[in-house]
């Protein structure tokens, strides 16, 4: 038999690290608990972090203004917003804010049984990054601890939707507050660790680059979270598809943001996550 080696057809070459795309996901907690002072902290945190794409949950809009627009105006970015519901004439929803042009966007109410319906939405933005189209998704799933089965159905809907889209060179990115632990059935479904939906499988960017760090985004260090008497958990995620050519879209680094208090106040009850991707 010839003494011959064969190349690994699944291997990528060395990443160039010449360009990067910074994506942030953060539940910024609507108008709860001293929201004006918190909002100032949120704006300061975002200004320091300088993400390229922001996926935000619990974003408010009312007749006097739009929190998504205020944040977009900080950077001169494009934005889109999807309302989930109104409370006291103030809307509650998801936003995608982007340094790169948003060519198109759409939002969908995630079908949920009437008894458990919290008007959860999936916001989808088509963004042009250089000559590549990026599909960016922002969502927020049911919050109650005992509703893993409901969240699993919501994840199934999201994956079925994503599976129908044309493949792009830059992998799809799904961000949000999933209200679910990394070992839960709904997260395992997203990662292909249980029966995949239409062969659509994503990767947990935090776990890829921080395998030994819990990365709690719901933390009892945060006095707002501590009041709920719930355990520390990572429930906020940035998921990404398999890398494109030359490792395009592969996670390089993930970190928490909004996890430092100032004068006894945290920006939100959640910590956010920001990931740098190979660009």
**What domains can be seen in the chain, in order of their start residue?**
20-278 (3.60.10.10)
Cβ neighbours of 164 (radius 10 Å): 8
How far apart (Å, rounded) are the C-alpha atoms in residues 192 and 242?
12
Measure CA of the first residue to CA of the last residue in the chain; give whole Å.
Answer: 43
- If residue 207 lies in a helix (H) or strand (E), which one and from where to where? helix 205-209
From start to end of 13-77, where are the E strands?
Answer: 20-27, 53-62, 65-66
Query: In tens digits, what is the pLDDT along the chain, a chain of 279 residues?
Result: 578 888 888 888 888 878 999 999 999 999 999 999 999 999 999 999 999 999 999 999 999 899 999 999 999 999 999 999 989 999 999 999 999 999 999 999 999 999 999 999 999 999 999 988 999 999 999 999 999 999 999 999 999 999 999 999 999 999 999 999 999 999 999 999 988 999 999 999 999 999 999 999 999 999 999 999 999 999 999 999 999 999 999 999 999 999 999 999 999 999 999 999 999
Nearest CA-CA partner of 217 in 202, 237, 238, 190: 237
How far apart (Å, rounded) are the C-alpha atoms in residues 228 and 182?
20
DSSP state of 115: G
Q: Residue 181: exposed, middle, or buried by beta-carbon count in 10 A (0-12, 13-18, 19+)?
A: middle
């Amino acid at each position: 038999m010839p003494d011959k080696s064969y190349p690994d057809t699944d291997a990528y070459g060395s990443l160039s690290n010449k360009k990067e795309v910074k994506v942030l996901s953060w539940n910024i907690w609507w108008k709860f608990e001293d929201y004006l002072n918190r909002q100032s902290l949120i704006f300061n945190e975002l200004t320091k972090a300088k993400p390229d794409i922001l996926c935000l949950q619990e974003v408010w809009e009312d007749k006097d203004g739009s929190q998504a627009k205020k944040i977009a105006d900080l950077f001169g970015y494009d934005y889109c917003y999807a309302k989930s519901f109104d409370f006291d004439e103030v809307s509650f929803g998801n936003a995608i804010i982007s340094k790169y042009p948003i060519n198109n966007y759409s939002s969908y109410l995630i079908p949920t049984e009437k008894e458990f319906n919290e008007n959860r939405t999936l916001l989808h933005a088509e963004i042009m990054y250089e000559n590549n189209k990026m599909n960016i998704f922002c969502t927020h799933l049911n919050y109650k601890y005992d509703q893993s089965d409901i969240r699993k159905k919501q994840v199934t809907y999201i994956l079925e939707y994503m599976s129908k889209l044309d493949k792009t060179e830059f992998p799809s990115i799904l961000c949000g507050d999933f209200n679910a632990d990394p070992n839960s059935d709904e997260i395992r479904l997203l990662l292909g660790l249980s029966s995949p939906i239409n062969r659509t499988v994503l990767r947990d960017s935090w776990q890829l680059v921080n395998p030994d760090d819990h990365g709690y985004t719901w933390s009892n260090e945060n006095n707002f979270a501590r009041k709920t008497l719930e355990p520390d958990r990572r429930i906020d995620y940035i998921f990404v598809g398999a890398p494109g050519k030359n490792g395009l879209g592969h996670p390089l680094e993930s970190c928490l943001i909004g996890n430092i208090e100032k004068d006894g106040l945290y920006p939100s009850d959640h910590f956010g996550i920001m990931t740098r991707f190979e660009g």
